[in-house]
Structure formats: structure tokens, C-alpha cells
Amino acid sequence: MAAVLDSGFYAQAERIGTFLLSNLISAFLLMTGIGAPLGLLGIFAVMNEWALGRQPEFFRVYLGALRSRWRAALLLGLVDLLAGALIAMNLSIFPAMALQDFPTILSLTMTIFAAVTLLMANLYAWSLLSLLRLPLRATIRLSLFLVLSQPWRSLAFTLAALLPLVASLFLPIAFALILTLSISGYITARGVLWALEAQFPRDEFSALLADAADDTSPSPVDIGTRAR
């Protein structure tokens, strides 16, 4: 048995088990609708660990994130629902308007810009929710700041994260459930780390990660003064 463990079999089995459990439970929670925020929180918590080069333990990372951040996840889900409904309502009005008028074109452009900004900020927010363990208001503020200060970087990894979702439309449902969430989550986690490393000094970024690893909640930061 010692030889089997030394060969890395146990570590590989744990890695596969964490991967499968995280994806299947997140897929189930997403299908329930009301549990979708918890599913997103859990899968991003696991993918953040892998993006940082660490081997996540399912019970400590996935269930730990749900235990400590479930309120923030549900509130963020509610914010997304309200913002998405507002954008959808605005878009539904335009077919009845004269699209050749300048005010209509301007309004449509602003609505599309708001929708794209909301999508990019969401990827930041869901990953940051478990990565840095900031209060929800600070998480949203930081997400919007990163989108506006690094628009092209944010757009690049947003498109990359959406590609697996598009590809899943052409895959069997089993592959889509098991692979799509983790691939998109991992791409997002890497993109968020990429943006944070570009925005914050190395020692400050390391301190934020260390605070999160200690399971403490840093006080809300003034993004304008802490960002480069």
C-alpha cells in the first residue's frame, strides 16, 4: 500500500475525484435555478486553487467556500438577476423603435455596452468571491474597476471563457456537464489572476492571497489608492 501511495496513485485519484464531484454538484445546483449561485461559487473556488498551482481538497475548498460565502453568493446572484432583467427589458423595447434615429442608436449602444460590462464584471466577481474573500460590495467594486481599467484584457479572457460554453452545444450532455464548467472556470480563474497581477504590486497581491489562505476577511480596500 505504501508503494501505491508513493507512486502518486492516491494523489491522482483525489484530483480526479475532486474534479468530478465539483463539476457534477455544480451542474446539479445550476439546473435547480435557485442553487445556481452556490454552484458557481463552488466551481470557481476549486478552479482558483488549480489556477494558483495548488491541489484542492473537495471538502475543504468546495464545501468550505459554500459554508463561508453562501450569503454573498446568493446576494450576487440576486444582483445579477435584477441587472440582467433590466438589460433584457431595455433590449425588448428597441424592436418597436425607429432604429435609424440617433437617440435610439445611442441608447442601444449604451445598453449593449452595459450588458458586455456586466458579463465581464461577473466573471471577475464570481472568481474573486472565493479567491480574496472581500466583502461583496468591495468585490463588485474591484470587479468593475478591473473591467474599466483593463478592458481589452478583460474582453480577451471573457471570450476565451465563453468558447467552451459554445462548444458544449455540439457535445453530448454528459461531456458538457463534466467538462464545460471546469474549463470555463479555469480560464476565468487564470484570467482574473492575470489581471490582478498586472494591476497590483507583487507584494500587495501576495498579501491579499495570504489573507484569503488564512481564511480571514480583509477589510474593504480603497481600489483607487491601492491599484497602480
pLDDT of residue 213: 62
> What are the grid coordinates assigned to 228, written together?
497602480
Q: Please give the Cα distance from 77 to 83 (Å, whole number).
A: 10
pLDDT at 223 over 70: no
- Domain residue ranges in the chain: 2-226
Q: Please give the Cα distance from 120 to 133 (Å, whole number).
A: 19
Q: Please give the Cα distance from 136 to 134 (Å, whole number).
A: 6
What would the pLDDT profile of 20-31 be if each residue is shown by its tens digit?
888 888 888 988
Q: Alpha carbon 38 to chain centroid distance?
A: 12
Under a CB-based contact definition with an 8 Å cutoff, are residues 52 and 206 in contact?
no
Under a CB-based contact definition with an 8 Å cutoff, are residues 91 and 151 in contact?
no
Residue with cell 435609424: 100
Instruction: Show the CA angle centred on residue 210, arms to residues 55 and 126, nearest 5°.
Output: 70
Under a CB-based contact definition with an 8 Å cutoff, are residues 129 and 72 in contact?
yes
What would the pLDDT profile of 164-222 be if each residue is shown by its tens digit?
888 877 777 767 667 888 888 899 999 999 998 888 877 777 777 776 666 544 444 44
Q: For the chain, how many residues are written?
A: 228
What would the pLDDT profile of 47-84 be if each residue is shown by its tens digit?
999 888 888 888 888 988 999 899 999 999 999 999 98
pLDDT of residue 139: 92
What would the pLDDT profile of 115-168 be if each residue is shown by its tens digit?
899 999 999 999 999 888 888 999 999 999 999 999 999 999 899 999 888 887
Give the global pTM: 0.81
pLDDT-based confidence at 7, cuts 50/70/90? low
pLDDT of residue 174: 67
